[in-house]
Amino acid sequence: MSNHKILVIDDSKVIRMHIRDMLPEGNFEFLEAKDGLEGYNLIRTKNPNLIILDFLLPKMSGWEVFQQIESEDNLKSIPLVLMSGRKEEVVEKIPEPFQHFAFIEKPFDQKQLIQAIKEAIAKAKQYSPKPTVSSPKLEELTGDYSTDIQTLHAQIAQMQTEMETIKKQMSQLVAFIKQKLA
């Protein structure tokens, strides 16, 4: 079992699985919680190296979990990515600039998630009494994947163009065949 743990707290299983799929393969354990109370209990018992927390949660809101994390010095040193589909609700409670955590607005892509994790690690280092955030396996998550992602985007764009061309050719072929059969 890995010593490196990533905890995702979100009431949507789809979001939790989406985040799991976006994370690069690594030597870490993926922990999930479906509500704030379960998430806070996992924070206390499992000592995660990274927390990805939804702001709107049942039983105990993400705001309440955040307040608990902020009130305990040993929890402040854990990198935190706060996420929400409605940034204005977060800013209502926690004014910008966000000093102690990274914020990511839903929906987000892999590049945005990795950038938020990098930012969370950097912000948590100011509170870090122990080297939890300098774990090599956790930092693998923040490797520079921008070149790979740009290459994939270019390949996708090229494939989409080719597919459109093929669709046009098929339409022309079908029209030609219908014309000959008529």
Residues 126-179 have pLDDT tens digits of: 765 544 444 545 555 555 556 666 677 777 778 788 878 888 887 887 787 878
CB 136 within 8 A of CB 113: no
Position 38 pLDDT exceeds 80: yes
Q: What pTM does this model have? A: 0.64
- pLDDT value of residue 145: 58
The whole-angstrom separation of Cα 60 and Cα 35 is 7
